[in-house]
Amino acid sequence: MDHHRQLLADNDPEIAAAIGGEEVRQRDGIELIPSENYTYPEVLATLGTVLTNKYAEGYPGRRYYGGQQFTDRIEDIARERARALFRAEHANVQPLSGSAMNQAAYLACLQPGDTVLAMDLSHGGHLTHGAPVSHMGRLFNFVRYKTRHNQQGAIDYDALMATALETRPKLVLCGFSSYPRGLDYGAFRRIADAVGALAMADIAHIGGLVAAGALRNPLDDGFDIVTTTVHKSLRGPRAGLVLCRSAQAKAIDASVFPGLQGGPHMHTIAATAVALRKAAEPAFRDYARQVLANAQALATALLAQGVSLITGGTDNHLLVLHTIDSFGLDGRRAEEALDRIGIAANKQVVPDDPRPPLRPSGLRIGTPAATTRGMGEAEMHRIAGWMVDAMRHPDDAARLSRLADEVRAFCRQFPLPGVTEARAA
């Protein structure tokens, strides 16, 4: 046990025990929540440094506190790495989360009451894309577009153009948290141009896949603003990035600070810089390609066992299962059945879901975390078998116990980054 772990165990055994339990849960289970991943050991090491002691309000060269020679250097490195990786003219690395980065982007370029064209939450959009329960949904006028059920979830871009011409949005937003198909960024750009709007893409889920060149970069299609979290497919700390054209740089920076946030978390910005460097390496490109290959393999295996998938498959890292149609289970019961065998997923609404959000009709899964541990296409087929078995027999305790033992033994073959490796050392 290292010094810091022992110090925590000696001074707060309750918290130390809970952290230890979480390490065991992660080590012995399969993480299929598509927004989660295992960060690098180097990132974990960076987060636990003296940088957490330092306030750094402002930006490099324009801070409100003294003693910034090293924090300035760190933030400059992080910004340059973000610009280079995503081919962006400007990058802000200070947002504390995905929600904060999107809020900062809206507040930088919109006035209260302005219209935003964004994807409906049940069709795959995110809470920050104007859901009525969100603050942004009350502050701005979000017009929500949907997908087409009978065409594998495709977006009707002609209808979207007509809606834009009718509603005259100031911002056209694309991006998702549970949409398994690709987006035509060129079509979104043309729609924005037709009404004189800014084009924004939220690539929080697929930021790592875009950085690696495995999926298309909206900035290459002339988008004005692109946001992404760092902790999902990028494998960094929990944080957000705002990437934009030079024309939006001043407004974005002012919106993040002082508009929305105070002092940035410098230990997180340093960890972001570490993750961005890792993402520029050839191994990360191989990783991104494997994430997509694993998603295809998992979809193929589930379809072969009669599972109904929203949009009929996937073009990215995630899948949405219609658990009511497939197993007669709502998403909550399906999630609980998988939890009992050591597979983490999350309940998910499906397009125009008639069921409430806490007992929806679907389940969302993804492959970034399992791929990080070294699992490949063959393992995806095994995982699909365990999932289907558990969801077909959610009340068979003996069966679920046996499946949990199989999953646990399977997971011990795949090291947990930052935990198993550190203990082995």
The pLDDT value recorded for residue 425 is: 36
Closest among 307, 237, 223, 332 to 276, alpha carbons compared: 237
* DSSP letter, residue 147: B
Residues in the chain: 425
Task: Provide the CB-side half-sphere exposure for 289 (13 A, CA).
Answer: 6
pLDDT at 156 over 80: yes
- Note if the bond before 258 is cis, omega within 30 degrees: yes
In whole angstroms, what is the distance from residue 305 CA to residue 383 CA?
12
Q: What is the pLDDT of residues 308-346, one digit of tens each?
A: 999 999 999 999 999 999 999 999 999 999 999 999 999
pLDDT at 423 over 60: no
Banded pLDDT at 130 (limits 50, 70, 90): confident
Q: What is the pLDDT of residues 48-60, one digit of tens each?
A: 999 999 999 999 9
* List 202, 315, 330, 353, catalytic entry: 202
Overall average pLDDT of the 20-35 stretch: 96
Overall average pLDDT of the 74-87 stretch: 98
* List 55, 80, 289, 336, catalytic entry: 55
And the tokens for 122? Answer: 């049940």
- Domains of the chain: residue spans and CATH: 45-279 (3.40.640.10), 283-424 (3.90.1150.10)
More confident: 134 or 44: 44
The pLDDT value recorded for residue 393 is: 98
Q: What is the CA radius of gyration of the chain?
A: 22
Q: Do 280 and 85 form a contact (C-beta atoms < 8 A)?
A: yes
Percent pLDDT > 90 in the chain is: 90
Active site residue 202: yes
Closest among 327, 316, 267, 322 to 294, alpha carbons compared: 316
Active site residue 193: no
Active site residue 287: no
* List 147, 227, 229, 268, catalytic entry: 229
* List 5, 63, 238, 382, catalytic entry: 238
Helices (H), 350-396: 368-372, 377-392
Overall average pLDDT of the 198-212 stretch: 97
In whole angstroms, what is the distance from residue 388 CA to residue 400 CA?
11
Report the binding-site residues.
121, 125-127
Q: What is the pLDDT of residues 169-197, one digit of tens each?
A: 999 999 998 999 999 999 999 999 999 99
Active site residue 229: yes
Q: What average pLDDT is seen over the chain? A: 95
And the tokens for 123? Answer: 């069709």
* List 216, 232, 332, 347, catalytic entry: 232
Q: pTM of the entire structure?
A: 0.95
* DSSP letter, residue 250: H
* List 57, 89, 377, 406, catalytic entry: 57
Report the binding-site residues for (6S)-5,6,7,8-tetrahydrofolate.
121, 125-127
Q: Do 362 and 321 form a contact (C-beta atoms < 8 A)?
A: yes
The pLDDT value recorded for residue 414 is: 97
